[in-house]
Amino acid sequence: MYSHKYSKLLEVSLGQLTADNFLLPSLRPALRRLSNELHNGHGFFVIRGLRVDEYTRPDNVLIYLGLSTHLAPQLGRQDYQFDGQPDDVLLAHVKDLSLLSSSSGPNGGIIGSPAYTTNKQVFHTDTGDIVSLLALETSAEGGASNFTRPNLIHTLSQPWDVDASEKNDRQFEQRPILFHFPATASTPERVGLQYSRRYFVGFGALPRSDNIPPITEA
């Protein structure tokens, strides 16, 4: 595997990593098969065997992003600033911030997601067409992930009242949670799901807006 020194030798930033400059000749065929599974198959998989303890944290970041370029060539922006300065942030760290001072939390001290606590997370989808996680440690307890199946497909495909509390007018908007994408000449038929429960019930310091209609029984 490559080290952080290799990135410096390339004279490229992490955002400039590509499958053409982060070369993995032995792994590339397997990664291309996984990429096809990601885009045209079930849409998820687990890669095991990366010995994260043998590398520094910067090295692990480099390896993680480098592997990602072989699965999907475009890296999404996770944030627009770093340490209060404008920046294109390529990855976010999932860790417990609940015990830190309020000034250390995201969004000016407001923890707006259970990802930054040790609370369990309900079924949800993260924002983005493709989402990946790299586990750096094994938790003492918990940490298991589950996949669920849609048992209310018709209900999920109907318009839902989604909280838009980030907007100044604090109005809600209507949109479905489940989307159908017809097949095209180059892509198969797909079903897309975009769901986060906090937009319907609120979370922590970001409560549910008062003017959003109540949730009904399924």
Give mean pLDDT, residues 114-129.
77
In a domain, residue 104? The reply is no
Phi-psi region of 30 (alpha: psi -120 to 50; beta: other; left: phi over 0): alpha
Mean pLDDT for 105-114 is: 60
Q: What's the whole-number mean pLDDT along residues 85-101?
A: 78
Q: Is the dihedral of CA 22, 27, 33, 35 positive or negative?
A: negative
Better-predicted residue by pLDDT, 150 or 4: 150
Please say if the pLDDT value at position 203 is more than 80. Answer: no
Residue 112 has pLDDT above 70, yes or no: no
Last residue of a domain, one of 53, 68, 92: 92
Indicate whether 77 belongs to any domain.
Answer: yes
Residue 186 structural domain? 153-207
Residue 117 lies in a domain: no
Mean pLDDT of 190-198: 81
Mean pLDDT, residues 51-62 taken together? 89
Q: Tell whether 183 is covered by a domain.
A: yes
Q: 73: pLDDT confidence band, cut at 50, 70 and 90?
A: confident
Give CA separation, 37 vs 32, 45, 108, 195, in Å. Answer: 9, 8, 39, 22
Q: Does 87 lie in the same domain as 8? A: yes
The larger pLDDT score, comparing residue 15 to residue 28, is at 28
Q: Where is the domain boundary, 51, 70, 92?
A: 92
Per the structure, the count of domains in the chain is: 2
